[in-house]
Amino acid sequence: MIRRTMLLAASIFSLLFAGCETKAMNNNKNENKMKTIELTKADFLKKVVDYEKNPNEWQYLGDKPAIIDFYASWCGPCKMVAPILEELAEEYDGQIYIYKVNTENEQELAALFGIRSIPSILFIPMNDKPQMATGAMPKHAFKEAINRVLLKK
C-alpha cells in the first residue's frame, strides 16, 4: 500500500514537473517571437534621435516610421496595450518599427518627452514632427493613426 502511494506520488510529481518544463519552454518561444523592440537610452540615441548631439533639433534617425510606447511594468493600461502593439508589429512588419521604453528604467527619456501619464505613445512619421497620444487605445485607433500619420494612406 505504501509502495503504491509512493509510486502514485512520484507519477504525479513527474507530470507536474513536465508540465512546468513545457510551459517554460513555450514562454521562451513566445519571448523570441516578440516584434516590439525595447529601447535603452543608448539605443534611442542611435535609432531614434541623438538629442545629446543635436539638443535643439528633431532629426529622426530611422529608416521607417516608428511608434514608441512609454510604459511601466506595473501599469494596468500598459499591460492592455502591450499585446495590441505585438499584433501590430507583426501586421506592419517591414513597414514600421514599434519600440518600447520602460519609464522606470529610462527616466531621462521619460523626462525628455515630458511623460506624466502612461501609457504614452509617440508616433514618429518619416518627414514630419512626432505626435504624442496618452492613454490606452484600442487596436482600430492604433491602425488609423499608423495609416494616417505614419504611412500617409
As annotated, the active-site residues are 75, 78
Question: Which residues is 98 bridged to in the sheet?
Answer: 67
Contact 121, 100 (CB under 8 A): no
Contacts of 37 (CB under 8 A, 6+ apart): 43, 97, 98, 99, 100
In total, the chain counts a number of residues equal to 153
Contact 47, 124 (CB under 8 A): no
In whole angstroms, what is the distance from residue 129 CA to residue 142 CA?
A: 18
Enter the DSSP assignment of 150.
I
Reference 68, options 31, 33, 106, 94; nearest CA is 106
Q: Which three cell numbers stand for residue 59?
A: 532629426
